[in-house]
Amino acid sequence: DAKTTQPNSMESNEEEPVHLPCNHSTISGTDYIHWYRQLPSQGPEYVIHGLTSNVNNRMASLAIAEDRKSSTLILHRATLRDAAVYYCILRRSGNTGKLIFGQGTTLQVKP
């Protein structure tokens, strides 16, 4: 399975936008880019996913580079509740759909 690389930690101020980067230089054509996050003492929760085009939902936006070797999760206005570990995951179409988590990025949001 293709690997992802994320910064260990990032900081943001409340109500400011946050851009969380992810590198996946070995991505294959059938790999979807998924983002999950894990709030303290909770199980992970789905944030967003995409294949080639940028995606928006009520939680976030996902910007995918044209060559698909990197992507960026965008939180438009960070709140204290967004403090979590964010995982960028590649899921290959056709397999069992298991999620392979890396270390993720720990996001701190300062008031």
Partner 1 sequence: DTGVSQNPRHKITKRGQNVTFRCDPISEHNRLYWYRQTLGQGPEFLTYFQNEAQLEKSRLLSDRFSAERPKGSFSTLEIQRTEQGDSAMYLCASSFDFVTGTSTDTQYFGPGTRLTVL
**Binding residues for partner 1 (CB under 8 A):** 32, 36, 42-46, 49, 85, 87, 91-104
Report the nearest approach of partner 1 to the CB of residue 15 (Å).
28
Report the nearest approach of partner 1 to the CB of residue 14 (Å).
26
CA distance 55 to 22: 15
Report the nearest approach of partner 1 to the CB of residue 80 (Å).
21
* Closer to partner 1 by Cβ: residue 53 or 96: 96
Question: H helices of 20-73, where?
Answer: none
* Closer to partner 1 by Cβ: residue 65 or 100: 100
- Listed in order, strand segments (DSSP E) in the chain are 9-13, 18-23, 31-38, 45-50, 55-56, 61-64, 70-75, 84-92, 105-110
Tokens of 45: 């929760």
* Closer to partner 1 by Cβ: residue 85 or 109: 85
